[in-house]
Chains A and B, each alone.
Chain A
Amino acid sequence: MERIYLDHAATTSLDPRVLETMLPYLQGIYGNPSSIHAFGREAKKGIEAARASIAKELGAESPSEIIFTGSGSESDNLAIKGVARAYREKGNHIITSAIEHHAVYDTYAALEKEGFEITYLPVDEFGMVAMESLLNALQPSTILVSIMHANNEVGTVQPIAEFSKLLKERKILFHTDAVQSVGVLPVKVSELGVDLLSLSAHKFYGPKGVGALYVRKGVKLAQQIHGGAQERNRRAGTENVPGIVGMARALELANQERIAHQAHLTELRDYLIESLMTKIPETRLNGHPTERLPGNANLCFRYIEGEALLLNLDLKGIAGSSGSACTSGSLDPSHVLLAMGLSHEIAHGSLRLSLGKATTKAEIDYVIEVLPEIVNKLRAMSPLYEFAGEEQSLCTAKK
């Protein structure tokens, strides 16, 4: 059976051109970049070239503003804990949104235990944070605001540049988790105006196990991993040299080809969303209709549960993702969908299909053919479906 991968928001395949760039560093060039001998120097040269390239691609002022990490999650942890602990004297208040990735969201739980106070900004039914709510949340003790650029579940893209203007005037540090948007949307720290930005290589056809954090010059950061002097004392541990070199190449390629991919993805995404919403009654689009990641389609099908939907899709060779409790690893469905005002019942029936640069129209056509049959099959066995149509506002978010 042909397999169709529509889970690019989870991870992407390694671009063969990226692999080619990495191979010498997996074979001959094995020195430790911290060593002063020739073996170490050639490895060091590789990571410094990668640092310069990534700094340029992100519109940073200097390569020293890039810190290599082991993942997007680590970058988020370093940004938030690093700033919080470095600026503790100045204040203990942090502002974030209610729809952050768990790497950010769960970091606050740790900080709350240390006495930090966190304000979670609400979002509207499309997953947007309002400028006004950010303004109202600001306190004299606010040391950091962290709002994600593009949401990993529903794809909503926040007006980061507008937020940063407001925060810059007030000299409050601003971090954005751009793990979903780097390489997909134009992401320049100079344009977004952020002080810290997280990225992860495997989301843009780079290798897994490597991420980076942009930290504007002058921003203090408390070290989170202790041990060595790597990354200018900001992140101990021998660098993942092949991964770092691969990440730089992946970002160069993604940015070079971005405009074409963006157009291709947006067209297929809109075709997929419109077709499914036409063919399957009582379907809700989650996220913003236009301000969303080009490859993200997130829909709720009422009366059915997400994991059952995913298993059926998998049986047909289609790989997707869901925000149901069964797939979120807790008893509650996705905190993102709940924050957008969806009821638990509807949130359990969510499906995320995230398209990639190699996704074809034929693959999307296959999904459009197969998915309505699966939804019908599950609805036919659902005791909830008997009440279909009794309520009027079934497919709109409950406020």
Chain B
Amino acid sequence: MASSLLQDKRGMSLLALIWLGVLLASAANLLLPESSALYVGSNTITLLGKYLCYALLAVSLDLVWGYLGILSLGHAAFFALGGYVMGMYLMRQVGDRGVYGNAELPDFMVFLNWSELPWFWQGVGHFPVALLLILLVPGILAFVFGFLAFRSRVTGVYLSIMTQALTYALMLAFFRNEMGFGGNNGLTDFKDLLGVSLTAPGTRITLFVLSALALTLGYVACRLIVSSKLGRVAVAIRDAESRTRFIGYRVEWFKLALFVFSAMLAGIAGALYVPQVGIINPGEFSPLNSIELVIWVAVGGRATLYGAVLGALLVNYAKSVFTGVLPDEWLYALGALFVLVTLFLPRGVMGLLQRKEAEA
């Protein structure tokens, strides 16, 4: 087991770099005075934390796309579901500090004249229950969808379009006020997490470090999976599904297991994302988000895992810079990125590096 991690030199050095960055940024935020030139502001910490969550999401997608051949165009839906569970927990923590001061109901329910908490909100205010649901909700959705899809052998672009329809349907559903998830506005105005204020600098740093930790653990888990026998069967399914089936593997169960695991990882990423950003709304289900996520993985290089991490960080950093300087041009850059990467960098930035190495 450990040997497969040791062999993954690129991944480990990337993770080490990320940790170095995380520790430096945290130290600069906590120890340096605000006047210092090296001081890292809380907003930057939040932004970096966001990137780390995205990186974990990208790793979860690379697991199914890179190693299993399932191009999910709805992976952001699992991310958003995890986020919504976390958002619900945080809403329950608000208690009677909302605008309407209702101890039992979140503000938007008071606004809609609801008299009691709907059944699916019961218990989510307990942290262990919330943690469990963060894994279970995306997991169960992935299980049901995957079970139906893989069993009837929906593959390739059909599957991609179906996953896109899934996230689209969820987006429409969450936009409805009657669903009980805050409708258009989503869930926001969170106060604290486990009794600690979300706006306190210590909380931000903790969440930031936790995101890095989740990314590391998620990455290591995925690395262990892909270098195990399970991972090799997955690659066999990706490259020749029918042949793997004829050899005697129950293809749909392998697919289902990895798909559910990947959805849970995405859910965790979403759950870490929401307290840092402070809002979750139905826009997170938008098909565009899921496709953007695909391009992160493609830019980094699919089927490498570290490529996904790198791609997510690079593209999102570029997005932050671009939208700050030339807000209107970002979509041009993103569109061009899609075209150029598919045409000229089929294996991403990492593929470019590998080719350089092979030549040298």
A and B associate: no
Which residues in B have some Cβ–Cβ distance to A below 8 Å? none
Which residues in A have some Cβ–Cβ distance to B below 8 Å? none
